[in-house]
């Protein structure tokens, strides 16, 4: 019997996140998730009048494709998927985790072929810019282990995070923040190992209120590409190309990452050398989901952590908050600034906005946890 919470989650994705309308063509990519949930999701799309198109994928098969990647193979798959994506009005990527380290033995050069010739044209350029899309993880024993919880406890946490937020209210609470950020020029971030300055002048702020990610709740923009100066010490682990990076630290000069260290500095710099844009920042965002407090090395959760921000090497969102940076990389790296994580401050134009993870400026106070929780 299907978990009754499946229906609640499917309804959020179909009725709110992508707002499926009669006649909409909806691509569902299901990665390692129970067919029972996929069936509930397809039924909900049909009841909304949509036309579902379904593809079921697995990490094990994807790994074989990446291990045997050539430019020709990746381009062929991308050509087929790009044709299909261009037909779609909506996209839902529901991704389970079979094994968080499944891609750990795929050589970096092979992953670069995937990123450049498949991921970039199909998803970063077409899907992100031209569909109403939402992506999410699906609860699994692997995710429960990552979160250091029992499966039962993690599932309770997961469905609370995804379905126990008043998304419409949360959306409205972000409006004064977007207005404030759209008038902001200078940003100064301070914390342990961090003293970072940059401008966001003229680049739109975009609210994330459950229409692209579930879970959600962040506001993002991008720094003026060449304006970044200083140092940044991240404190949340982050996996990329199958390896978990920790203690990532960047030093910037004229917007470029000129020094990068981590628990594997060689691997880190290999990613940053993917292309010219990988050493510049494509996104700056504030995270404030009221129920997410700890990093679990899953970026769809970690980038929303209450009291966090992320600063993203690589591609900017061309149709939303564009600073002109282009790359096959878009790597959200997270710093948590609540007191137990070392604290920190964020200043906009010499006004203190957030201190030790809590918003202190009036325009931002609606984003504090007590103002967003349903329970």
Tokens of 285: 């965002």
How far is residue 278's CA from residue 47's CA, in Å, rounded to a whole number? 42
What does residue 50 show for φ and ψ, rounded to 5 degrees?
-85, 170
Q: Could you write out the three-class secondary structure of 281-338?
A: EEEEEEECECCCCCCCCCHHHHCCECCEEEEEEECCECCCECCCCCCCCECCCEEECC
Instruction: pLDDT band for 146, please (50, 70, 90 cuts).
Output: confident
Give the total residue count for the chain.
Answer: 375
**Is a pLDDT exceeding 90 seen at residue 2?**
no
How far is residue 127's CA from residue 206's CA, in Å, rounded to a whole number? 18
* pTM of the full structure: 0.80
3-state secondary structure of 123: helix
How far is residue 204's CA from residue 198's CA, in Å, rounded to a whole number? 15
Tens-digit pLDDT profile for residues 47-88? 999 999 999 999 999 999 999 999 999 999 999 999 999 999
Provide the pLDDT for residue 374: 76
Dihedral sign of CA atoms 314, 319, 323, 325 in order: positive
How far is residue 185's CA from residue 201's CA, in Å, rounded to a whole number? 4
- Share the mean pLDDT of the chain: 95
How far is residue 156's CA from residue 356's CA, in Å, rounded to a whole number? 28
201 DSSP assignment:
T
Tens-digit pLDDT profile for residues 236-278? 999 998 899 999 999 999 999 999 999 999 999 999 999 999 9
Tokens of 343: 């604290």
149 DSSP assignment:
S
Tens-digit pLDDT profile for residues 159-214? 999 999 888 889 999 999 999 999 999 999 999 999 999 999 999 999 999 988 89
**Is a pLDDT exceeding 80 seen at residue 1?**
no
Q: In this structure, are residues 356 and 307 in contact, taking their beta carbons and an 8 Å threshold? A: yes
How far is residue 16's CA from residue 93's CA, in Å, rounded to a whole number? 15
Q: Which domains does the chain have, with CATH numbers?
A: 5-163 (3.40.1830.10), 167-371 (no CATH)
Provide the pLDDT for residue 375: 66
């Amino acid at each position: 019997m299907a978990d009754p919470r499946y229906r609640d989650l499917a309804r959020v994705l179909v009725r709110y996140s992508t707002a499926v309308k009669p006649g909409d063509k909806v691509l569902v990519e299901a990665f390692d998730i129970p067919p029972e949930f996929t069936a509930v999701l397809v039924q909900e799309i049909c009841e909304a009048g949509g036309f579902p198109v379904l593809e079921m994928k697995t990490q094990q098969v994807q790994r074989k494709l990446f291990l045997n990647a050539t430019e020709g193979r990746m381009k062929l798959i991308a050509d087929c998927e790009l044709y299909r994506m261009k037909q779609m009005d909506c996209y839902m990527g529901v991704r389970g985790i079979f094994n968080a380290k499944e891609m750990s033995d795929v050589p970096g050069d092979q992953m670069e072929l995937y990123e450049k010739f498949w991921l970039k044209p199909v998803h970063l350029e077409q899907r992100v810019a031209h569909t109403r899309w939402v992506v999410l993880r699906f609860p699994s024993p692997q995710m429960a282990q990552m979160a250091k919880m029992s499966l039962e406890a993690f599932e309770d946490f997961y469905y609370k995070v995804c379905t126990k937020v008043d998304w419409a209210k949360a959306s409205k609470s972000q409006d004064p923040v977007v207005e404030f950020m759209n008038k902001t020029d200078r940003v100064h971030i301070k914390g342990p190992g961090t003293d970072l300055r940059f401008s966001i002048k003229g680049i739109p702020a975009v609210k994330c209120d459950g229409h692209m990610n579930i879970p959600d709740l962040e506001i993002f923009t991008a720094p003026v590409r060449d304006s970044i100066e200083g140092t940044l010490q991240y404190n949340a682990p982050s996996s990329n190309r199958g390896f978990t990076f920790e203690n990532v630290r960047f030093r910037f000069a004229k917007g470029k990452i000129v020094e990068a260290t981590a628990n594997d500095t060689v691997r880190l710099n290999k990613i940053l050398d993917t292309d010219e844009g990988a050493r510049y920042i494509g996104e700056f965002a504030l995270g404030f989901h009221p129920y997410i407090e700890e990093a679990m090395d899953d970026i769809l959760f970690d980038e929303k952590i209450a009291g966090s921000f992320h600063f993203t090497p690589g591609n900017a969102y061309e149709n939303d908050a564009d600073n002109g940076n282009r790359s096959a990389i878009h790597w959200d790296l997270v710093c948590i600034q609540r007191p137990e994580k070392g604290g920190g401050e964020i200043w906009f134009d010499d006004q203190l906005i957030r201190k030790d993870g809590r918003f202190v400026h009036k325009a931002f106070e609606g984003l504090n946890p007590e103002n967003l929780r349903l329970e």
